[in-house]
């Protein structure tokens, strides 16, 4: 139960944990250890603990019941406060099959950033612009969790400069394309404005474009990497996927099926139950976003601990999935678990929940399921590492320079 607490001293009865060094807090340990930082403290202190990161006193919270309560209390107790199309997929996989070796991370990152810019904000740019945009997003992602020091040489400064250049690129592209109102962009951008309670202004539009491409491109490319890693390790899952596709006449390679693009409508994909299980299990084990950042609007109590106003709360999505009490094997990749009658009780917060549930959930589902189907239809593949070592932050990605070999599949 969550209790609002406006009367007593909000520093009383704080969760366990350390605040670290003055000013720096525990930011340096976090930057060095990444996701392991949270694992160590959760193992020591439990599902709720305090720390101090990037200039903000912070409380990390995980656990299915806790996240359900807090996501439901969006904009009442908490508010968001993070640190400051089909043809594309088909053509890209064709290109991979003609290459002797594919660099996994850069290829997927490039493909899904391009897909997001065209599908979500209707920006079709020349290759030079696409390449520069990918480089700038890389710069931002690599410096996402750094000390907030805006001086040359520091990661925070690099990220701000990259975002400034990106916004200028988007602003110039809007002028070249002659788009002067939000209505000239896809509906998802209008949804973004409604969520922000914002009137149309150019700066808001540019920021909306930046966020949509960043969120869709970065998170979906990370999830696509996890698709390749999991499917390469579990060939039985690939065979079951192909059996399901074959049962509805969708396994024929594209060059032999003139109706390929037409057949793969969302309503068709949504009827493929095992595909849905694989999709959910990949996102359960490897959520693209490990934690959801919020600012505390008013002091409240949770599990007997005080959560003070103006502190930062991190809702631990990855932690909650990995410590699922309903499962004896939460770290094992087993898509069939989602076929069980009680699978609705499993923790699944990949897209958050409550009022700020990810508006791009439908887009992510469509694109990732299409990617899985196309892999099964078009090719067999192997990766340079049998069990790739992954880093979880800022988004899941291979620790080493993971490459792949893709071979066109023939029936």
8-state DSSP, 14: P
- Summarize the confidence of residues 289-301 as an average pLDDT: 87
The highest-level CATH class for domain 101-288+360-408 is mainly alpha
Tens-place pLDDT, residues 41-67: 999 999 999 998 867 789 999 988 888
Comparing 130 with 311, which gets the higher pLDDT? 311
Residue 367 Cα distances to 42, 186, 251, 262, 290, angstroms: 33, 16, 18, 15, 20
- Span 194-219, average pLDDT: 70
Task: Tell me the C-alpha distance between 219 and 144, whole Å.
Answer: 14
One fold for 2-83+290-322 and 101-288+360-408: no
Q: How many CA atoms lie within 13 A of 135 on its CB side?
A: 9
**Which has more confidence, 244 or 6?**
244
- What confidence tens digit (pLDDT) does each residue in 136-155 have? 888 888 887 778 888 888 88
User: Mean pLDDT throughout 169-198?
Assistant: 61
**358, two tokens:** 């990810």
Burial class (CB in 10 A: 0-12, 13-18, 19+), 104: buried
Structure tokens given for 279: 């999709």
Q: Is 277 annotated as contributing to ligand binding?
A: no
Q: 2-83+290-322 belongs to which CATH class?
A: alpha beta
Listed by start position, the domains of the chain span: 2-83+290-322, 101-288+360-408
Residues 4-33, mean pLDDT to the nearest whole number = 74
Distance CA 408, CA 93 (A): 9
Question: pLDDT tens-digit profile of 351-391?
Answer: 767 666 666 677 788 889 989 998 998 899 999 998 888 88
Q: Are 135 and 110 in contact (CB under 8 A)?
A: no
Q: Please state, rounded to an integer, the average pLDDT across all residues of the chain.
A: 80
β-strands 312-316, 291-296 pairing: antiparallel
Q: Is the pLDDT of residue 257 over 80?
A: no
Which segment of 93-107, 130-144, 246-260, 285-299 scores lowest on mean pLDDT? 246-260
């Amino acid at each position: 139960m969550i209790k609002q607490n406006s009367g007593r001293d909000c520093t009383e009865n704080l969760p366990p944990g350390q605040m670290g060094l003055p000013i720096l807090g525990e930011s340096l340990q976090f930057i060095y250890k990444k996701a392991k930082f949270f694992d160590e403290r959760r193992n020591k202190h439990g599902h709720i603990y305090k720390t101090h990161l990037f200039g903000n006193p912070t409380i990390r919270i995980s656990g299915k019941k806790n996240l359900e309560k807090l996501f439901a209390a969006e904009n009442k107790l908490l508010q968001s406060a993070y640190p400051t199309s089909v043809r594309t997929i088909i053509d890209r996989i064709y290109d991979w099959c003609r290459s002797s070796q594919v660099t996994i991370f850069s290829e997927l990152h490039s493909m899904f950033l391009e897909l997001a810019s065209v599908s979500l904000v209707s920006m079709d740019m020349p290759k030079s612009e696409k390449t520069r945009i990918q480089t700038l997003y890389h710069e931002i992602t690599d410096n996402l969790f750094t000390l907030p020091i805006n001086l040359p040489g520091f990661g925070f400064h690099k990220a701000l400069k990259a975002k400034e250049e990106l916004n200028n690129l988007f602003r110039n592209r809007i002028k070249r394309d002659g788009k002067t109102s939000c209505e000239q962009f896809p509906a998802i951008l209008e949804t973004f404005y409604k969520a922000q309670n914002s009137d149309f202004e150019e700066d808001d539009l540019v920021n909306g474009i930046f966020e949509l491409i960043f969120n869709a491109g970065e998170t979906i490319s990370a999830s696509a990497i996890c698709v390749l890693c999991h499917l390469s390790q579990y060939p039985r899952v690939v065979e079951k996927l192909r059996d399901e596709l074959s049962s509805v006449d969708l396994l024929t390679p594209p060059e032999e099926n003139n109706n390929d693009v037409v057949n793969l409508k969302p309503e068709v994909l949504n009827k493929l139950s095992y595909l849905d299980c694989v999709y959910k299990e990949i996102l359960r084990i490897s959520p693209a976003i490990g934690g959801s950042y919020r600012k505390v609007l008013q002091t409240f109590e949770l599990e007997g601990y005080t959560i003070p106003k103006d502190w930062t709360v991190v809702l631990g999505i990855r932690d909650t999935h990995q410590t699922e009490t309903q499962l004896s094997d939460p770290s094992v990749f087993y898509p069939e678990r989602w076929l069980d009658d009680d699978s609705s009780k499993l923790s699944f917060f990949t897209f958050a929940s409550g009022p700020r549930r990810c508006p791009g959930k439908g887009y992510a589902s469509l694109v990732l399921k299409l990617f899985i189907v196309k892999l099964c239809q078009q090719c067999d593949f192997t990766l340079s590492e049998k069990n790739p070592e992954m880093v979880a932050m800022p988004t899941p990605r291979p620790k080493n320079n993971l490459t792949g070999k893709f071979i066109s599949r023939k029936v």
